[in-house]
Structure 1
Amino acid sequence: MTDPDETGRVYLVGSGPGDPDLLTVKARRLLEDADVVLHDKLPGPDILGLIPEGKREDVGKRAGGDRTSQEYTNERLVELAREGKTVVRLKGGDPFVFGRGGEEAEYLAAHEVPFEVVPGVTSAVAGPAVAGIPVTHRDHASSVTFVTGHEDPTKDESAVDWHALAATGGTLVVLMGVGKLPEYTRELREAGMREDTPVALVERATWPDQRVATGTLADIVAVRDEAGISPPAITVIGPVAGTRERLLAFLANGADAAATGGEEVDGE
């Protein structure tokens, strides 16, 4: 309930990859109880459909498209809380995995606004999983590295050392990296990663229109272009991406095209 005489509370909530069944129990309860929900573009239409239009505000961003500034979002969270409202800041995946949740938490703390972090199922793991790709595997990958493919454009240089990652081995999971796929796949090849390394692109993982495209480090850009894969999508690089073919026929969770009406696109 709104109490204008007291500072409200902000909940930084992860919505998971998009399937409402993958919301945590606490996340669903908070969506029901909140006075206002400030949401990104990534929670997905089925989750956003659970929230009455009158209490949700879109503060999302799209690569190359409309965007709400982070400064506005930060200030809006403080403003609403100081009005005594219970506020949910709803993010795709987990709020602290490339979701700017850390920045928002710092801003709230600096302005003495009570907040709580509610973790979500990160799409970095769930996206590959529903496509039949385990990010670790005893035979193929004993480590996994999560990388953002969309860094702060104001940085003087990238903080991601693709040459070091190529030498690390294991699985690379790149979030928000479809647009820069040509650049980092080239850097990985130049660093010595095998051109026949399996690669998978999972677009809109767990959403009704999920699509999966597979190829190799050498041809995945052409596969992406032919399929028209676009954000939001996850890139999985490494031998684990090759397990999908062996698992696809047996998946019972709707990851295969026959079950979902989605599309499968494979390289040579």
Structure 2
Amino acid sequence: MTDFSALHQPGRPLVLVNAWDAASARIVAAAGAAAIATTSAGVAWSLGAPDGDALGREAAVAAARRVVAAVSVPVSVDVEAGYGDPAATLRAVAAAGVAGVNLEDGARTIAEQQARLSAAKEAAPGVFLNARIDTLLFGLGDVTEAITRAKAYLDAGADGIFVPGTTDPAVVAELVASIPGPVNVLTGPGAPSIGELAALGVARISLGSSVAQAAYGLVERAAREVFEAGTYTGLAGAADYGRLNALSE
């Protein structure tokens, strides 16, 4: 299998269309993905839980195991804040065969998150540890704070840095120039193109929960149309039944 770490190349970014179950992972892989990443929100929603560490380790690991079994490319899973014990969670998902994880800091202090990252890396040294920094996403600080955290997290054993919350070219360029490791950004509608972000030196690009949101948005629109108008136009462009069935064989 491809070395997942080697896919993180500044200027030639790993592009991740985040999946949430076996079927979505297979669809993304069949489209030509070099790797699969899960969206914690999409996984949680598909299992009837809200995003935000509410799913629990057992269910999250089971979901990871299903995705790993469904595809032949490396899989990175979002373990949110680690479900209470990041080290235990990392050991479990490593045993499930994942190649990487995202682990978020939230409002924790730098020292707290360093300890968590260090323990997680020690528990699963072969798993690519992508440290998510929530500073910009949740308005917990500025770019300087995000960069300070990034350097501290790399020192603690992180392999990459994920800074959601901005796709502003000037900010992304500053992050790339200041962080001595692969930088991952969260993108979606209205953001710079893959080519533009690559030119800024980004090493990894994620779509996060946006694909799952789009899929569930289709469900919502189709249901409303059927119940309110009695028509089915919202189902146009649906994936082919036979192709979906073939992907599951």
| Greater helix fraction, Structure 1 or Structure 2 | 2
* Normalised TM-score (structure 1): 0.28
User: Rg larger in 1 or in 2?
Assistant: 1
* Normalised TM-score (structure 2): 0.30
